A and B are shown apart, each in its own frame.
Chain A
Amino acid sequence: MRHFWSFRNRLFVAFLAVSLVPLLICSTLLLQMFRLRLTDAAGTEALEHLNSVCRELDALSNGFARTADFLQGDALVAEALTLGSGETTQVYNQLFDATEGMRNYARFDLYDLEGRWHYSTYNLPVQRQLPTSWGVLQRAGRGKMTFTVCETVTDVNRPLLMGAVLLTDVSGSPFGYLVASVYQTNFRNLLEGKYGAQNDLILLSQYWRPAYCAEPALAASLAPVLRERLLAGEALDGTAGDFLYSVAHHESTGLYLVLQRPRVFTQDTMRLLYTISISSALVCVAVSVLMSLKLSRQMFRPIERLHSAIGEVVHNNLDVYVAPYQEDELGELARRFNGMVVALKRNQEELVENQRELNEAQIRMLQAQLNPHFLCNTLDTMKWISKINKVPQVALMSTNLADILRFCISPEEFVPLGREGEVLERYIEIQKIRLSGAFSFELDLPMELEDCLVPKMILQPIVENAILHGLDGVEEGMIRVEVRAEPEGLLRVRVTDNGRGLPPDMEGPYASRGRELSWGHLGLYNVDTILLKYYGTGFGLYLENRTDGPGAAVTAVLPIRREEEPEC
């Protein structure tokens, strides 16, 4: 059953391919598209967050610039800072007017040119003196605020970002510094909720030192790593991080904004998706196995049955039947097979029947040969006794009978037509003696047809039939046997009489009626059977009433054969 398995395997592979390939393609494409879409969306979102943070920082630096502009050239403040004189309250009024709306986001201090602190919008600074040759005051721009990131990202009590601007009076000579300090709480107020709940924002200085992070611990741990990666020219997300980083640069403060967002497709998510894909593939494999098993079973059960049924037929058992238990091609096949077996069986039965009929005819002929030698000898004895006793008719009859008998028991099956004619004439002599010569007989056999071979004793039964049935009670009966060669190598033997003729239902080919009808015409039946058996259908006796006068005609048609031709 090797082919069985291989076919099953092929089915399995086909199922597998048909189910697995689309599944794999589908899941891969889905995965890809899903990932691309999500990554894309997340990227856009991150960009929006960064933009909104940038806008906040813009608002902050613009506010600082406005404050600085307000105080530039302010004579009152200039005087207070340079001379240390003037009404403190008036200076504070100016300062608070200038910082209107910005005080929630930074503290503002006024320092004189020596870096000594004078005024503040908040309580006293930790350091009352700032170095002018170092740090934020050293870099304080003229007219434009410059920002310095302080080093203490985790300290809530010290500013994270300081902006300083040199204040000049109307004549353009400097009189002091305005310093804006942004603390952790200020940044928190400014940026809270602007960059997405699951994200983290780190503000880095121009040199990627940490400036602010909502999670100060994260800034302290992550910022050096980010800087290291940047300097090493690596991607910010490292090799196996669960986070993605988006970077934006804020021009006016010089800050870099780094948004840390969780990777949309973390390792876990990917693992989950792969697990799902692989499980579906496994289900596919399982279903393929089951389907191929089931289908092959469905196909092979009937085929197996057919196979064993064919085996039975090979062993000549034609009683097999394959139940067509499903309505499909295989059921049809089974039905066809059954039909074929039935037809085969019928053929075989017909064959057996034919053989049996032939055997019967032969047996009948053999029966007629019972003790033939004894009969022949007896007849010879009778001939001699009748000659001694001067009864010539008996002698003639016994001579003729003995000839006929000898002819009958001769072993040949085929005899020349001339010999057949002789025997027929012997028979006619006997009949003439029996019936006191009440009929005449004529044999029309052309010389060239005398050597045609015909089955033995086919003329005599026809003629006997004509004498017994056709001439019964007819005065001057006339029997005529006419042998003619037909075209296409056929031989036509026609026996006519001038008797009563046939009843209408006897006319036509003899073979077309049942055997029962011909009962009482055993001679004709035998001849017809012999012709059929020897030469096949199409040959046989044809019965008709004569058209040219009273009586019937029996015609036998058979192929012309001669001595030298090989027997079939």
Chain B
Amino acid sequence: MRKKVLVMALICGLILSGCAGTGKQPAPDCAPKEDDRLVIYTAHKKEVWWPIVKEFEERTGIWVDVVSGGTNELLERISEERDEPRADVMFGGGVESLEFYRDCFEPYVCEGAGEIQAQFRAPDDLWTPFSSLPVVLIYNTKLVGAQWLNGWDDLLAPKFHGKIAFADPGISGSSFTGLVTMLYALGGDREETLRHFASNLKGGQLDSSGAVVSSVAEGSDWVGVTLEETALKHMAAGEDIALVYPADGTSSVPDGSALVKGAPHGENARLFLDFTVSLDVQQLMEDQFYRRSVRTDVESGEKLIDLGKIPLVDYDVGWASGNRESVLMSWAFYLGGEEEP
């Protein structure tokens, strides 16, 4: 009996080893050590983050793992992972959004902080600014005359009723910044302005900020609200749009990066934050991406007009972030109210 069992076991073993031994390759040993890694969550487009990340890798020898996505999506994720963070750096995203999730981040004074324009610096160094992004108005050059659009007040005029491309501020950070800028620029009763603008939109808002430019370029809408960088990029690509810096003032809110609280690779994350505001990166940004540097010492090329020549409103990031919920609620209310009848 024992012998039988033994033989059976032997056969089973042979067969099992035959099945199991289909060969697993071992993991290669060229994987980087934990010290040489960095995990970045980025809301930037690949064309922006890729050269910076690549250069960072080449210069520091740190392997960067990039997870890209929408600003709010990534911030939500960081917030969920708060107890066991995977990300080291949140790279990109409007600073209002970063402020909104301030619990997830750790203040850091980056190297070369002195060279950064004071207006773009976070009061408590929670985030590190990356580039300043003025909100601009755009119009379709075929459909709209040269002097039709000058400032925010034109967006409330009946001539553009139902012809305004505007992204949902609940989804798009830049759209929210645009909305708040408008409130600042127009002054007066904010609720009234919101109601007025919502009614002029005729209930139509777009799903993403990217759709604004294409909608205007196609002619579906005549005018739109977007960021200077986006507008310039599309203009350079030869699309039929032109941009207007609102005469009644605009904002130049920076986007930024922030060090995640409890980051697994904190040292490398700090290196990366230093790198994003380094002269080399900031210069590259001005040269190639139509983004305004936050540094004082970057030579502005001919592509961007001097920020000093643009009328600015006194935009309070703290206020925008703190009142985000209430503004969005009012906005949703007025927009929906217009749809009601």
Contact = CB atoms under 8 A, between A and B. Distances in A.
B27 A235 contact: yes
Interface in A201-252: 206-209, 228-231, 233-237, 244-245, 247, 249
A122 interface: no
A21 to B, nearest CB: 7
A560 B250 CA distance: 157
Contacts of B76: none
Interface in B1-53: 7, 11, 14-15, 17-18, 21-28, 30-32, 37, 50-51
B63 interface: yes
A24 B26 contact: no
A32 B14 CA distance: 9
A430 B18 CA distance: 113
B192 interface: no
Contact of B51 (A151, A229, A256, A270): A151
B46 to A, nearest CB: 9
B124 interface: no
B274 interface: no
Given A28-B15, A134-B280, A233 B27 contact: yes
A454 B4 CA distance: 73
B63 A231 contact: yes
Interface in A107-150: 131, 133-135, 138-139, 148
A236 B15 contact: no
A151 B50 CA distance: 8
Contact of A236 (B11, B25, B55): B25
Interface residues of B, number: 33
A236 B28 CA distance: 7
Interface in B270-318: 279-280, 283-284, 287
A35 B21 contact: yes
A32 B25 CA distance: 17
Given A24-B15, A35-B22, A133-B280, A236 B7 contact: no
A265 B22 contact: yes
What bracket does the count of chain A residues touching chain B fall in? 35 or more
B7 A24 contact: no
Interface string A25-64: 1001101100100010000000000000000000000000
A131 B284 contact: yes
B15 A21 contact: no
Contacts of B55: 134-135
A29 B14 contact: yes
A207 B64 contact: yes
A207 B21 contact: no
A24 B31 contact: no
Nearest to B279: A133
Contacts of A249: 30
Which of B11, B25, B31 is most buried by chain A, counting CB atoms within 10 A of its CB? B25
Interface in B131-172: none
Given A21-B7, A135-B55, A230 B14 contact: no
B31 A233 contact: yes
A24 B15 CA distance: 8
Nearest to B23: A39
Nearest to A264: B23
A24 B280 contact: no
A35 B23 contact: yes
Interface of A: 21, 24-25, 28-29, 31-32, 35, 39, 131, 133-135, 138-139, 148, 151, 206-209, 228-231, 233-237, 244-245, 247, 249, 256, 265, 270
Given A148-B58, A151-B51, 10 more contacts: A29-B14, A131-B287, A133-B280, A207-B64, A231-B32, A231-B63, A233-B31, A235-B26, A237-B24, A270-B22
Interface of B: 7, 11, 14-15, 17-18, 21-28, 30-32, 37, 50-51, 54-55, 57-59, 63-65, 279-280, 283-284, 287
